[in-house]
Amino acid sequence: MASIKKYQSVHPDNLLISFDIKRMEHVYEIRASKPDAPHRHDYYTVLLIAEAKGKHLVDFQEFELKNQQVYFVSPGQVHQIVEEQKSIGYVLTFSRQFMLENGIESDFIEALHLFQDFGYSPPLEPEKAEFEALQKLAESIIEFNQSNKKFKEQAVGALVKLFLIQCNNFCSLSREENTQTAQAAVSLLRSFKQLLDIHFSEWHKVSAYAEALHITADYLNTSIKSLSGKSAKEHIQSRIIVAAKRLLRFSELQNKEIAYQLGFSEAANFSQFFKKCTGMSPSQFRSQ
């Protein structure tokens, strides 16, 4: 059974450090050139990749590593980089504490649509000029982060926020959210995702979330799909499946124990649900 390592703090030797940025070449030195293994963080990670060849696995989704990509990994997501050659780029890591210290509200992170808590997390692929602008920002962040300049922390916080805003501006999938209707839809999506993260193992039906949000199930499904491309039902299924895959791959729990933990009254119901969503049984997935 494969085990999964969990990194709880941005800096392993100093729990008070809430932000870090490294060139990927430095990451190799720290890792002593050992291959990356599946792991998760309790903090946000941004991979700004200038040159790479290989694949990036995020919550069991596989993406081809290519030049000029930006990956966004949320706290709790399981990911692994499998490289065919040494990558060149930057790794930014920051905690929720860093966000609080720099006035970056969680609503701001949600509004960007860059970080996904689970499921499909494709990379951003900016144009050459856009990517170069992000590289310049990354170099500025490194310069301030390594300096002893006055207001260093405030400068780093402002630059990180600008970096994320630029990523959002370069994202072809970003949506206009200036109208009152659009803002209401974003607020609904945010509230739904917060409820889903808390209750996915006990609330399996759209109606439960709709009731908590004081709207109809049809309205919830339609609104969520219009903004995210997936219905509320699909989000619920994805969240359960990702949790199931993590437990099947990285725990010693039996199928019936996983079924109970995820809110299924019978192991058979869990197996049926898992196979319907993935095309294979839990045991088949675990043995891969």
pTM for the model stands at 0.68
State the pLDDT at residue 182. 57
Token pair 């501006």: residue: 169
47-97 tens-digit pLDDT? 999 999 999 988 878 899 999 999 998 888 888 888 888 899 999 999 888
DSSP H or E run through 22? strand 19-23
CA distances from 19 to 103, 110, 112, 191, 257 (A): 14, 19, 19, 27, 37
State the pLDDT at residue 228. 73
* Domains located in the chain, CATH noted: 5-170 (2.60.120.280), 180-286 (1.10.10.60)
| Three-class SS of 248-277 | HHHCCCCHHHHHHHCCCCCHHHHHHHHHHH
